[in-house]
Structure 1
Amino acid sequence: MLITIKSEGQVMPVFTELDSLPDTEGYAGMFAGVSKGRLFCFGGANFPGKRPWEGGKKKWYKEIYMLQEGKGWLKLADTLPSALGYGITVSYKNQFIVIGGNNETGYSDKVFGYEWAGGRLKTIHYPPLPAPMANMAGALVGQLIILAGGNSSATGQAGKQFYMLDLDAIDSGWSALPSWPGRERMLPMCAVHNGMFYLFGGETTEINSLNQNYRLILDDAYRFKPEKLNGKWTGTWTTLNPMPKGLSAAGSPLPVLENGNLLFWGGVDALTALHVDPLTHPGISADVQLYNLNADMWIYAGKKQGIAAPVTLPVVNWNGRWLYISGEIKPGIRTNKIYELK
């Protein structure tokens, strides 16, 4: 079901720009988490110097930046063990946990946490993933880390992986949960509400009538309710109303607004996916879609003007505010902007 509201003022969320990241180029595929009330943004990739069509080479990073309320950004002496991007971060009990990701040498199955203590980041080790993963969706549902989709190598196809780690039973390691009823996917979006995990869109590869591959942008939507039966985690899926416009690689986890709506801003839609020439690429669509969790209903909020919409970026809840962190605004072009959702 789709409802179109013509008056933007009734439903369009307000974005406020915060202090930009110290790096002027910005990053795609960053990680972002919270520890002891501080915001940490780190990793990701960009094209320093030359753009891809100019022969520029993609570079991954391991630097960590920290922001405190009322203060400016601080680049820490601590760094990631290696350059990394396009994985998942969840924040849990004053830790932020880094899951999977990739870099120029391959994909990672590593899982490790950080906690701010004594002016440094203390490292906590977690069980590795069942397989290397990047470009997935993931979030914390209670004490469960849940991951969906993604791929396992630079040439690997999108998958239907659906994994869970119980942070109250870490020694049990990761386990597979029943996968959603739809297609395999990478770069999907997810959300968490009332103890349930929501999965939206993403993309996979399809073959046309000429036997050529193309990017299939998905528009399906699902809700997963985890439950523990006979001492083992499982759960059930519910198919929701599909998205009016499919999206891939939008900011995730999706912000949950006070009125019960999920916010979809940025991301690659089917029309944008048709553009193959970066020099003529129009940028990411400014459309804003809302999904009402209570009514299983979609709302078109209008176009968000004056801000370049991003893809491949984390969204993090920091001290009760939803933040969009950096991202890619055109092929090979990043932004260092950070926006707070009001």
Structure 2
Amino acid sequence: MNKIHYIVCVALGLALWSACRHGGTDKKEETEMIQWNRLPDLPGMEGTASLGVSAPFTGVTGNRLIVAGGCNFPDKPVAEGGTKRYYAEIWTLDLSADSAQWTNAGVLPRAVAYGASIGTPYGIVCAGGNDSASSFTDVFLLSANDTSEACTIRPLPSLPVTMDNFAATYMDGKVYVAGGNANGTPSHAFYCLDLSMRTDSGRWEKLPDFPGAARVQPVLVAQRCGNEEYRLYLAGGFQPGTTETPPQIPDELLAFSPRTGTWETETVLPPLSDGNPRTLTGGCAVACGDSAMLFFGGVNYTRFFDAVDRPRQMVLARAANDTRRLEALQSEAADYLRHPVDWYRFNDEVLHYDVRSRTWTNRGAYEAVARAGAGALFHNRRLIVVNGEIKPGIRTPRVNIGMF
């Protein structure tokens, strides 16, 4: 694979402010900051060094934090020609024990990353994903086993299409998945599985496609919005460009009502403090409390757009016989993976969105969330952030826990 093509693949694989238009204000200085601690680093997968992984399945079942699968570059960095490796190991950590350490709890049916996972009362639903050769339709329920350290895996109905780099959420017995690549193509896909039926013979229901651009690596979260109704909120993600059209990185927060079966634009993401657009591509989103959501992490809009649009710009430069421009673009491509961490400007702010007042609040900037492809969950008023990339191709083994 040539270096220019790989840069695009890295951008595609980055397996959760100011006033918004509804009148929200940046209340950063008025809001209590999040206090962060560290849990034990995730051990190395399959005998490799403890480097951390990107895009694993994550969740909590009982008091056990589970991390399964994911990928990294164990032998040498991607900038030096390293090869991405996918994993099948399952690791658990007892959150109720002060001095707990990670325990190996079995293996997944296959090595996989870039799927979607979400905690439910029945266990952690893990869906889709890919390895270096294929994308998958697999769906299964991962849960802790009270009689042994090994986790239990129960198959669930397969997705109707292969899916990777998509998002999942859960509410009132139903799992929803949206976006990503469906059968290898950037998609508007939106499906639902009713877990309350407690049967392996159920089927995924196709729901209305979301509007606008396709969204590869979006975030999806469910939250109640009054009168016991809930909605699903979709943000982030991008639609890759072609040699003729630029990529699209939407900044709208979309909302879907299961009651009416319709999508609408809820609001837009507040811009960054420098006035540039914000994206949640490769980021995280979690519900907290009875009317709020937290959004954080992911790539920087400008850095990411420039990277994924660079191949098109090269085509234009060649067509125009603009040698100077072409050489500059080639130099940028060659250097893209070699910059220090701070250059990539991954999103380090935690944004709080209240669905009732439709306002944004900035909860502060933290190194712990400046990652892409991290796992994230909100458990017992604690925000847990698992591994992820700190720059393209470089993971962290850290597991951080934020106290509210």
Which stretch of the first structure deviates more once superposed, 191-200 or 273-282? Answer: 273-282
- CA deviations on 1:230-281 (whole Å, 9 max, x unpaired) are xxxx7222321111243143443x2334494422221113212125501126
Q: 1:50 aligns with which of 76, 83, 86?
A: 76
Deviates more, 1:2-11 or 1:136-145: 2-11
Change (3 A) 1:7 1:82: closer
- Write the distance in 1 (CA, Å) between the matches of 2:369 and 2:188: 31
Q: Give secondary structure in 1 for the equivalent of 2:216.
A: coil
Give the 3 Å change call, closer, same or farther, for CA 204–248 of structure 1 in structure 2: farther
* 1:16 and 2:48 are equivalent in the alignment: no
3-state SS of 1:206 partner: coil
- For normalisation by structure 2, the TM-score amounts to 0.75
Distance (Å, rounded) in 1 between the aligned partners of 2:270 and 2:181: 26
Q: Is 1:303 paired with 2:365?
A: yes
The letter for the 2-side match of 1:204 is: Q
Whether the 8 Å contact between 2:116 and 2:167 is mirrored in structure 1 is: yes
Which residue identity does 1:316 align to in structure 2? L
TM-score by length of 1: 0.88
Cα distance in 2 between the residues matched to 1:7 and 1:222: 24
Q: Distance in 1 between matches of 2:369 and 2:127?
A: 28
Q: How far off its partner does 1:18 sit?
A: 2.0
* Distance in 1 of aligned mates of 2:288 and 2:100: 27
Structure 1 unmatched ranges of 5 or more: 228-233
Q: What is the distance in 1 between the residues matched to 2:375 and 2:28?
A: 29
Q: Secondary structure at the match of 2:268?
A: coil
Contact 1:251 1:315 in 2 (8 A): no
Q: Secondary structure in 2 aligned to 1:103? A: coil
Paired residue type of 1:279? R
Cα contact 2:53–2:70 (8 A) shared by 1? yes
More displaced stretch, 9-18 vs 290-299: 9-18
The answer as to 2:238 corresponding to 1:203 is yes
**Cα shift readout 1:117-145 (whole Å, capped 9, x = no counterpart):** 21132221111100110110111111111
Partner amino acid for 1:249? T
1:114 counterpart (128, 133, 142): 142
Rounded to whole Å, the distance in 2 between the matches of 1:272 and 1:60 is 26
Greater gyration radius: 2
The aligned counterpart of 2:254 is: 222
The Cα of 1:191 is off from its aligned counterpart by 1.4
User: For 1:290 and 1:28, how far apart are their aligned partners in 2?
Assistant: 24
1:163 aligns with 2:191: yes
Give the AA of the match of 2:152.
Answer: K
Tell me, which stretches of 5 or more residues in structure 2 are unaligned?
A: 1-18, 45-49, 225-229, 272-277, 308-332
Find 1:269's aligned residue among 278, 300, 313: 300
In structure 2, what is the equivalent of residue 339 of structure 1? Answer: 400
Letter of the 2:34 counterpart: P
Structure 2 counterpart SS, 1:329: strand
Q: Secondary structure at the match of 2:241?
A: strand
- Report the CA distance shift for 1:146/1:4 in structure 2 as closer, same or farther (over 3 A): same
Where does residue 173 of structure 2 map in the other structure?
A: 143
Contact map agreement 1:87 1:135 (CA 8 A) in 2: yes
Amino acid at match of 2:355: L
Residues 237 and 249 in structure 2, CA contact (< 8 A), matched pair in contact too: yes
What is the letter of the counterpart of residue 182 of structure 1? G
List structure 1 segments (4+ residues) > 6 angstroms apart after TM superposition.
none
1:278 alignment partner, SS class: helix
2:337 counterpart (267, 278, 282):
278
Alignment partner, residue 30 of structure 1: 56
The Cα of 1:319 is off from its aligned counterpart by 4.2
**Greater fraction strand:** 1
Q: 130-139 or 34-43, which moves further after superposition?
A: 34-43
Distance apart, 1:30 and its partner CA: 0.9
Cα distance in 2, alignment partners of residues 36 and 303 from structure 1: 30
The number of aligned residues is: 329
Distance 1:11 1:320 in 2: 14
